[in-house]
Each structure stands twice: as C-alpha cells, then as structure tokens.
Amino acid sequence: MFNYTLRRLLMVLPTLLILVIFAFYLMRLAPGGPFTSERPLPPAVMANVLERYGMDEPLHVQLWTYVSNILCCFDFGPSFSQKDRTVNDVIAQGFPVTLTYGFWSAVFVLVLGIPLGIIAALRHNGFWDYTMTGLAIFSQIFPNFVLAPLLVLLFTLSWGLLPGGGWNGGQWEYVVMPAIALGTSYMASVARLTRGSMLEVLNSPYIRTARAKGLPERTIIIRHALKPALLPTLTYMGPVFVYMITGSVFVDVFFSTGGIGQDFINGAYSRDYAILLGLAILYAVLTFALTLMVDLLYAWIDPKVRAGLS
C-alpha cells in the first residue's frame, strides 16, 4: 500500500514536467505574445519590456528559470497582463472560491446521488426508478452550460430567489447555483451507477441467504448490500472530479464567481503565459491529488484491490 502510494507520487513529477514543457513550447511557438497589440510598441520599448520579463533569453533558458523558480521557492512568476499581481496572488485569491463551491458541489453529488440510486434500485420499475431514469437522460442532454442559464432564468429572473452571479465572500446564496449547475449531471450519473450496482448486489446469492435467515430488510440493505454496491460508484468518483474541474472553468466564467477559471480564460485571451502555465499546473496537480485520493480510498475499502497492490 505504502509502496503503491509512493510509486503514484513519483509519477506526478515527470508528468507535470511533460505538461509544462509541452504547454510552454506550444504557447511560445504560437505567433503573437502578451505585448503585441493593435498599435505595435516601438522596438526599443519592446526590447526593454521583454528584458524586464526575461523573455529576451533563449526559450530553453527561460523554461529552466521558470521550473527552477517553482522548485526552489514556489514562485510562479509575475503575471504579464495584470501588472501588479503575481501568479501566486491570482491563485491565492481565486482558488479558495473555486474550491468552496467545488466542495459543496461534490457534497451535492454524493449526498443526493447515492440515496437516489439506492431508492431507485429498491423500488425497481417503480415511480422513483422511472423518475431517476428520466433525470439521468435529462442531465445528459442538459450539460452544465445549458443548465446554468436555465437555473438563472428560473431562480433569478422569474422567482428572484437567488443572485444570478457574483460571490460576495461566499455567502450561501451565491454558492447554491454554481454548486448545482456544476454537479447535476454527475449527480445523475452517480445515481444511475449506484442503482445498477445495487440491483446487481440485491440479486446475488448472499443477499438471498440473508433474506432466508429472516434478517429485517433494513439490516440487509445497510449492513450487507450497501458497501459492495458503492464500490463502482467510488471508482467513478475519480473521473467525476476531473470532469468537475473542467466544468468549474465554465462555472467561474458564467457566474462571475471570481474563481481561477475566469483568470484562466482571460489569461488565454491576453496571452498571459505565466498565468496560463501556473493555472495549468494547478489544475493538473488538483486532478492528480483527487484521483489518487479516490484510488487509495478504493484500495482501503476493497480487500481484493489492496491485495493486488502489494
């Protein structure tokens, strides 16, 4: 188990390095730069600006400076487009926002998705089962970027219950819609997956044995069926987190929450190399951390997997 964790952690650095090198050259080899504008700067000024940001040196030297600054001092460099801020400032300001509604969104996915799936399985072919199947199809057709405008239309424009965007220090009214918009389709997937595996478990022989022993239904579900039924859901959470990170870029832009997604898109527009690279690294690290967490949790719960790892 420990060896496995170590191996996974050791994989992270080379992968990040590949990502950085790839993104770095991709951005630098593209025409244009952060300082090209409609009216070109005089050559002397341009040379000064480039020197100020260390961009007059050969590319591989710049790459080396960038990577070593991160490794030694955790310094992601100054932002090119926002003169008085460093990338660290941008992350320190935006990341907590994204993390907050991301967390509540994950809670929403699990706390609603799992019980819905279980109920649908218990009432197989009943009202709840059909409701849930409908919901699953609905959410496949209404991804977050269609759902979010609909939510704003209903909750803000029609009923005036919730603010249509902004953050305001993370008061709960401002968190609700981003969390729901981000989570709904994954909530439905989790519910569908839980339903499927729960049905399978409920049909297995050991549940029949438990029933034959005369155990009450509640005990059968909670003590015997639940844990194995949740394992597939747990494996699915890794990809879900990755998708949610992708979705958060959209949510940040649409709801103007001030999270890092907005900075990322603005950085792409203004060719802010430093912000783009810094946030790309952050997104990738986040992905690694979350998938590793899920995998370890899985190994911890499922003895079969744990045996396979060591």
Cα separation of 271 and 35, whole Å?
8
Token pair of 38 as six digits: 């409609």
Q: Is 269 in the site for another protein (CB under 8 A)?
A: yes
Q: Is 145 in the site for another protein (CB under 8 A)?
A: yes
Q: Is 130 in the site for another protein (CB under 8 A)?
A: no
Token pair of 18 as six digits: 């590949």
Q: What is the DSSP letter of 168?
A: G
Q: Is 10 in the site for another protein (CB under 8 A)?
A: no
Pick from 253, 296, 305, 309 the residue near another protein by CB under 8 A: 253
Q: Is 59 in the site for another protein (CB under 8 A)?
A: no
Going from the C-alpha of 26 to that of each of 30, 59, 74, 271, the distances in angstroms are: 6, 12, 23, 12
Identify whether the C-beta of residue 67 lies closer than 8 Å to the C-beta of residue 18: no
DSSP, collapsed to helix, strand or coil, labels residue 181 as: helix
Q: Is 61 in the site for another protein (CB under 8 A)?
A: no
Taken as a whole, the chain contains a residue count of 310
Pick from 114, 119, 148, 230 the residue near another protein by CB under 8 A: 148
Q: Is 265 in the site for another protein (CB under 8 A)?
A: yes
Q: Is 155 in the site for another protein (CB under 8 A)?
A: no
In whole angstroms, the minimum distance from the beta carbon of 27 to another protein comes to 6
Identify whether the C-beta of residue 192 lies closer than 8 Å to the C-beta of residue 132: yes
Q: Is 250 in the site for another protein (CB under 8 A)?
A: yes
Stretch that binds another protein, among 69-77, 98-106, 195-203, 263-271 (CB under 8 A): 263-271
Which has the closest alpha carbon to 178: 274, 81, 261, 66?
261
In whole angstroms, the minimum distance from the beta carbon of 211 to another protein comes to 28
Stretch that binds another protein, among 36-44, 87-95, 140-148, 227-235 (CB under 8 A): 140-148
In whole angstroms, the minimum distance from the beta carbon of 283 to another protein comes to 5
Amino acid identity for residue 249 in this structure:
V
State CA 187 to chain mean position distance. Answer: 14
- Burial (0-12, 13-18, 19+ Cβ within 10 Å), 44: exposed
Cα separation of 202 and 215, whole Å?
14
* Residue 126 vs 239, nearer CB to another protein: 239
- Residue 220 parent element (H or E): none
Catalog residues that contact another protein under the rule CB under 8 A.
15, 18-19, 23, 26-27, 30, 32, 137, 140-143, 145-146, 148-149, 152-153, 157, 164, 242, 245-246, 249-250, 253-254, 264-265, 268-269, 271, 276, 279-280, 283-284, 287-288, 291
